[in-house]
Amino acid sequence: MNRKMTLAGVLAAILILASACGNKDDDKTGAAKTGGKVELTYWSWAPNMDKVVAGWNSTHPDIHVTVNKQDGGDPAVTKLLTAVKAGSGAPDVMQAEYQKIPTLVSANAIADIAKQAGSLKDKFPASAWNSVTLGSDAVYGVPQDTGPMMFFYRTDVFAKLGLSAPKTWDDYAADAKKIHQADTKQYLGTFSANDPGWFTGLAQQAGASWWGVQGDSWTVDINDANTQKVASYWGNLVQQGVIDNKPMYTPEWNAALNDGTQVGWLGAVWGPGVLEGSAAKTKGKWKAATLPQWDTAKAANGNWGGSATSVTTQSKHKDEAAQFIAWLNTDPAALKALAGDSNVYPAANDATSTALTSPPAFFSNQPDYYAVAQQAGQATNPFTYGPDVNVTFSSYNDNFGKAAESKQASQFTAALATMQQATVADMKNTGFKLAG
């Protein structure tokens, strides 16, 4: 189908595939209103979300929300886009990963709720709010959870070698070298070519934002100086052999965390659950810190993961849906339930004081765990995703996989140029207008 790109007035900073993805008949939605009671459906993949939503239903008898558990990630997006295209079957509310919001906006699948929810801006970190606004006045959801990156390290290994948590990336490189020289089986970390979200967070910390909007056009800047700096840094560490070059989330990586051959991890706030599952017998030996910095005079951080709750364009009850998602992500009782029942890290600024008053069980030896997490979250740089993030991430997997295997630093920076080319080519083929 030939698709023409137009700039919708209220979007201002985002291009819509208008002729391919127009509004469907509102009568074909899953929402209903019977006997004065509004019925809303909510697609979510977070565990125990029905328990969280029960708190809303018990206090809002006129607006009832039914949770439909979904698979997360790409399957959820595909299912929603299919329903939107068919004109029926879409929910009223959708949990949406930040990186997928531009795709959903481009397909006219989620609604602008600035009128209903725009006043919530100050309740969230600037980086999280940027993720639901895409740099415009439009609001495409309310931030639900975030994934500020953090550095986890084995305190026993650091103490044995007289090391402290690295403050800078130069410190991290020096510590990695000392640890590996002291025991050639041990590594402070690994470069993971299977985790583009991880690398994106590191680039975000360095000041990169791979997509943007210039007038009525998209910009793509994956191969920028900030990302090149990050790629070159990791390429040099891999080439020197002082960190590992194997992907994360494999049986080998899990075993390395458990047996002490991986003694550090650049993860995110949700990391305790991973460590508890992979390295249970090392409980009490880890500590969390903020990421090492490129510039200690200006604290910066990146995100790895996170999602919003959005109102779909097919909902017949957008006001009520917006009211629900505002409660879900800002009400103290809801924040406690999100953290306690769904095991997510709520995005709201108040989450640390209202819901996260005790550290995760795996970090019971670090009472200030969530204070460190909040510090990381507040320092997170803004980052704009584009509508073809899947193409970019796939290119990352392919090209950084080859670079990591080669152990040649030059291949790491070369991979960025290939990612840039693949992303631009796909956007042009899809019909998006690019600046320049």
- Produce one character per residue of 148-162: b if its CB has 16 or more CB atoms within 10 Å, e if not: bbbbbbbbebbeeee
On whether both 421 and 278 belong to a single domain, the answer is yes
**Alpha-carbon dihedral sign for residues 317, 319, 324, 329:** positive
What does the chain come to in residues? 436
Token look-up 């998006």 returns: 432
Give the pLDDT of residue 302: 98
Same domain membership, residue 195 and residue 64:
no
- Which phi-psi region, left, alpha or beta, contains residue 74 (left: φ > 0; alpha: ψ -120 to 50)? alpha
- Does 363 map to a domain? no
In a domain, 366, yes or no: no
- What is the model's pLDDT at position 29? 38
Are 82 and 205 found together in one domain? Answer: no
β-strand 93-97 against 142-154: which pairing, if any?
unpaired
Alpha-carbon Rg for the chain, nearest whole angstrom, is 22
Answer whether residue 339 shows pLDDT above 50: yes
Same domain, 122 and 222: no
Q: What tokens appear for 6 in the block?
A: 């137009």
Q: Over 60: is that where the pLDDT of 28 sits?
A: no
Task: For residue 9, tell me if it sits in a domain.
Answer: no
Q: What is the dihedral of CA 19, 22, 28, 29, to 10 degrees?
A: 140
Return the C-alpha torsion angle 138, 139, 140, 142, nearest 10: 170
DSSP 213-237: EETTEEEE-TT-HHHHHHHHHHHHH
Residue 33: per-residue pLDDT:
52
Domain boundary among 314, 340, 355: 355
Residue 17 has pLDDT above 50, yes or no: no
Q: Output the pLDDT for position 30.
A: 42
Instruction: Tell me: pLDDT of 203 over 50.
Output: yes
DSSP-assigned letters across all residues of 327-357: HHHH-HHHHHHHHHTS---B-STTHHHHT--
Contact status, residue 392 vs residue 386, Cβ threshold 8 Å: yes
Q: Is there a single domain that holds both residue 257 and residue 142? A: no
Tell me, yes or no, whether 232 and 164 share the same domain.
yes
| Kind plus residue range of the DSSP H or E element containing 146 | strand 142-154
The helix (H) or strand (E) run that includes residue 268 is strand 264-268
Residue 361 lies in a domain: no
Range 12-37 average pLDDT? 44
352 neighbors 373 (Cβ within 8 angstroms) = yes
Q: Is residue 136 part of a domain?
A: yes
Say if residue 326 is in the same domain as residue 283.
no
Q: How far apart are CA 312 and CA 93, in angstroms?
A: 6
Could you give the maximum distance between any two Cα atoms of the chain, in Å? 72
pLDDT at 272: 96
Structure tokens at 276: 């508890």
Query: How far apart (Å, rounded) are the C-alpha atoms in residues 70 and 68?
Result: 6
pTM score: 0.90
**pLDDT at 16 (0 to 100):** 37
Residue 18 banded pLDDT, cuts 50, 70, 90: very low
Three-state SS for 99?
A: helix
Residue 436 lies in a domain: no
Percentage of residues of the chain with pLDDT beyond 70: 92
Strand 93-97 relative to strand 37-44: parallel, antiparallel, unpaired? parallel
* Alpha-carbon span 215 to 269, nearest angstrom: 36
Does a structural domain hold residue 373?
no
Domain around 181: 148-302+384-430
For the segment 328-356, the average pLDDT, to the nearest whole number, is 94
**Residue closest to 279 by CA, chosen among 248, 301, 235, 310:** 248
Q: Is 351 exposed, middle or buried, given 0-12, 13-18 or 19+ CB atoms closer than 10 A? A: buried
Residue 35: predicted pLDDT: 58
Number of domains in the chain: 2
pLDDT digit string, tens, across residues 186-196 = 999 999 999 99
* Residues 44, 135 within the same domain: yes
CATH code, domain with 422: 3.40.190.10
Same domain as 288, residue 422: yes
**pLDDT tens, position by position, 121-136:** 999 999 999 999 987 7
Residue 287 in domain: yes
Distance, CA of 389 to chain centre: 12
Alpha-carbon gap, residue 419 to 400, rounded angstroms:
10
In sequence order, the β-bridge partners of residue 254 are none
DSSP 3-state of 314: coil
Residue 3 has pLDDT above 90, yes or no: no
Note whether 132 and 258 are same-domain residues: no
Are 198 and 296 in a shared domain? yes
Per-residue model confidence (pLDDT) at position 27: 36
Q: Are residues 49 and 81 in the same domain?
A: yes
